[in-house]
A and B are shown apart, each in its own frame.
Chain A
Amino acid sequence: MLLTASSAILMILQQAPADNVDWDAEFGVEEEVRDPVTGELPVDPYVEDNANAGADPYDSTSLAAAFGGREGIQRIAERTVEISEADQRIAEIFVAHDMVRLKRTLGEQFCYLLNAGCSYSGRDMRSAHDGMGVTRADLNALVENLQQAMREADVPFAAQNKLLAKLAPMSGDVVER
Chain B
Amino acid sequence: MTRFLFYPIFVFSMAIVPALHARETATPDQPGPVAIPYSDVLEVRQAEPTDHAIAYARVLESHGSTDASIPRTLPAVANTGAAGVPAIKPPDREASAAGARVDIDLFEGGKLLLTNGITTIEGGSGGGIATWATIAGREMKGGIGVQGSFTAIELPDFGWRSYGAAIGISDRVELSYVRQDFDTRSAGAALGLGRGYTFNQDVWAAKLRVAGDAVYGSPVLPQIAIGAEYKRNHDGAITALLGASDDEGVDYTLSATKLLLQHSLLVNATVRLTKANQQGLLGFGSAADGYKVQVEGSLAYMLSRRAVVGAEYRSKPDNLGLGEDDWLDIFAAYAVNNHLTLSAAYVDLGSIATFEDQRGGFLQAQIAF
Question: B-facing mask of A6-24, CB < 8 A → 1, else 0?
Answer: 1100110111111101011
The answer, among A41, A100, A161, for a CB contact under 8 Å with B302, is: A161
Binds A, one of B68-76, B280-288, B340-348: B68-76
Find out whether the CB atom of B88 lies under 8 angstroms from the CB atom of A88. yes
Known: A17-B50, A140-B111, A171-B213. A31 touches B68 (CB 8 A): no
Find out whether the CB atom of A168 lies under 8 angstroms from the CB atom of B78. no
Task: Tell me which residues from 81 to 101 in chain A have a Cβ below 8 Å from any Cβ of chain B.
Answer: 85-86, 88, 91-100
A99: nearest residue on chain B (CB-CB)? B79
| Count of residues in B whose CB is under 8 Å from the partner chain | 66
A86 to B90 alpha-carbon distance, docked (Å): 11
Task: Tell me which residues from 115 to 142 in chain A have a Cβ below 8 Å from any Cβ of chain B.
Answer: 133, 135-137, 139-141
A36 CB contacts on chain B under 8 angstroms: none
Main DSSP-derived SS at the A contact region? helix
B94: nearest residue on chain A (CB-CB)? A133
B52 CB contacts on chain A under 8 angstroms: 23-24
With both chains docked as a complex, state the minimum distance between the C-beta of A33 and any C-beta of chain B, in angstroms. Answer: 7
B50 CB contacts on chain A under 8 angstroms: 17, 19
Find out whether the CB atom of A14 lies under 8 angstroms from the CB atom of B21. no
The answer, among B6, B72, B87, B215, for a CB contact under 8 Å with A14, is: B6
Q: Is the CB of A147 closer than 8 A to any CB of chain B? A: yes
Task: Tell me which residues from 1 to 60 in chain B have a Cβ below 8 Å from any Cβ of chain A.
Answer: 3-10, 12, 14, 17-18, 21, 36-39, 41-42, 44, 49-50, 52-53, 56, 60
The answer, among B6, B17, B93, B262, for a CB contact under 8 Å with A161, is: B262
Find out whether the CB atom of A85 lies under 8 angstroms from the CB atom of B18. no
Q: Is the CB of A59 closer than 8 A to any CB of chain B? A: no
A96 to B17 alpha-carbon distance, docked (Å): 29
Q: Is the CB of A152 closer than 8 A to any CB of chain B? A: no
B189 CB contacts on chain A under 8 angstroms: none
Question: Which 9 residue pairs spanning A and B have beta carbons closest together?
Answer: A96-B38, A92-B90, A165-B261, A171-B216, A7-B17, A23-B52, A17-B6, A137-B110, A165-B262
12 other contacts beyond A23-B56, A136-B141, A157-B303, with CB at 8 A cut-off?
A: A24-B74, A31-B77, A32-B74, A32-B76, A92-B90, A95-B86, A133-B97, A161-B302, A162-B261, A165-B219, A165-B261, A171-B216
